[in-house]
Amino acid sequence: MSVLVYTESWEGIFRKSTFEAVSYASETAKLLGTDVVAVSLGEVSDDELSKLGNFGATKVISIASVNKGDSQGTTNAIASLSADAPAIVFSNTYSAKMIAPRLSAKLNAGAISNVIEVASNTSPFTVKRKAFSTKAIEITTVSSEKAILSLAPNSFGLRETAGSCSIEKSDFSENGIITIEGQETASGKISISEAEIVVSGGRGLKGPENWGMIEELATLLGAATACSKPVADIGWRPHAEHVGQTGKAVAADLYIAIGISGAIQHLAGVNSSKVMVAINTDPEAPFFKAADYGIVGDAFEVVPKLIEEIKKIR
């Protein structure tokens, strides 16, 4: 009867979104009067696995032999543990988008993506989710016995507890038909989706040669760099940095938009950030309506001043 949570790792390390999913699963388990079992796939050390206990998992089942890149194998592994689970929780990552729908079909369980709050009712499961590129909130009910809930990253937050968890090793090894032959890291930079601070540039920066100050500001703040769609389309920046409705979603603590107009398609992907700052020469730029703080000014004057001031503080 435990709530299951899939705990995604990268090179043996859990991401912030994983701990958030465990926190969410823990709150869901409290509503159901039960506990949380975490499922970890691939090689993860016991030290790392035990961190899941700090966020509410009471037990971790570690399946080292399943290839995490194989969505069929991972689905089979999670399904094999879910017979009695009233709910299975994911963070709404790329992997979850591959596994949750397969699991939904296999278990005949309703799956809801982009969930933003703990269930208001568990019989039937009723949750709020982001809809229409975050322009609307949907209240959704699952009529199946089991609910599969994929949490929108950064929507719930981390809830640390003083708990600890037991670790069980499973030799489940029913892989699917996909084999990952190799993996290459695209960049060693901070991931946009995981970053607490994101510094983002738009067409107002005039050209790729002017990104030095964006990189410098980001490095000083420990931030990830991002850009608007046209900036990636014209090749000033890599597509991996494109944020918005058709790019990556940002839900940072601080999002700094420099020379970005604030078109709805851009805002749709970034407006889950806690604090948004816009720097733009045009006082009528739509971004100022969405931003918490705005600086009407030329990026080429404002950003170097910001860098100078941050350096003084440091």
Ligand X SMILES: Cc1cc2nc3c(=O)[nH]c(=O)nc-3n(C[C@H](O)[C@H](O)[C@H](O)COP(=O)(O)OP(=O)(O)OC[C@H]3O[C@@H](n4cnc5c(N)ncnc54)[C@H](O)[C@@H]3O)c2cc1C
Which lies closer to ligand X via its Cβ, residue 58 or residue 200?
200
How far lies 102's CA from each of 11, 74, 96, 108, 250, in Å? 24, 10, 10, 10, 26
Q: 100-129: which residues touch ligand X (CB under 6 A)?
A: none
Output the DSSP codes for 5-23: EEE-EETTEE-HHHHHHHH
Out of 261, 271, 272, 273, which residue is the one contacting ligand X (CB under 6 A)? Answer: 261
Question: Which residues lie across from 247 on neighbouring strands?
Answer: none
Amino acid identity of residue 45, one-letter, is: S
If phi > 0 it is left, if psi is from -120 to 50 it is alpha, else beta; for residue 205 that is alpha
Q: According to DSSP H, which parts of 93-182 are helical?
A: 94-107
Going by C-alpha positions, the residue among 145, 147, 2 that lies closest to residue 60 is: 2
Candidate list 15, 129, 130, 266; residue touching ligand X; CB under 6 A: 266
245 binds ligand X (CB under 6 A): yes
Shorter beta-carbon distance to ligand X: residue 127 or 199 = 199
Residue number with CB closer to ligand X (3 or 260): 260
Residue 244 engages ligand X in binding (rule: CB under 6 A): yes
Q: Which of 42, 110, 153, 269 binds ligand X (CB under 6 A)?
A: 269
- Residues 174-203 contacting ligand X, CB under 6 A: 202-203
* Sole binder of ligand X in the list 42, 73, 204, 294 (CB under 6 A): 204
Task: Note the residues at the interface with ligand X (CB under 6 A).
Answer: 202-204, 228-231, 244-247, 259-261, 263, 265-266, 269, 279-282, 285, 298-300
